[in-house]
Amino acid sequence: MKKITFFLGLNDRETRKQIISTAAALKIVMNLIYKLVGGASVSKCFGVYTHENGEKIKEMTIKIEILDYDENAVKMLFKELQTTFNQESILVQKETVNAVFATGENDF
């Protein structure tokens, strides 16, 4: 099964500060996932990012993991996240995983 993970830093690209609170950011992300993708696992984490100019920052990060996704849907999600949160970039990790939506103990 294919899996894509977005690591969305919450600091604004110009101010280098978090403008949208983490709670509000999580609500925005969840609404976008609901509208565009239909399912994902979302968690908060801490990140370190090096800007194009070499400046390093620490920031709150939202990790979004999506399994068995539609390419067009995740591209739309990416664009919305990048625009909404004014991001220079979003780390995108793509991989193939051995995963199943289990309904009973015999599924794994």
pLDDT tens, residue by residue, 1-40: 999 999 999 999 999 999 999 999 999 999 999 999 989 9
Give me the mean pLDDT over the 57-81 stretch: 97
Tell whether 101 is covered by a domain: no
Domain CATH number, residue 48 = 3.30.70.120
Tell whether 106 is covered by a domain: no
Tell whether 104 is covered by a domain: no
Number of compact structural domains in the chain: 1
- Name the token pair of 31: 């609404």
Tell whether 108 is covered by a domain: no
**Mean predicted lDDT score pLDDT of the chain:** 95
> Does position 108 have pLDDT exceeding 80, yes or no?
no
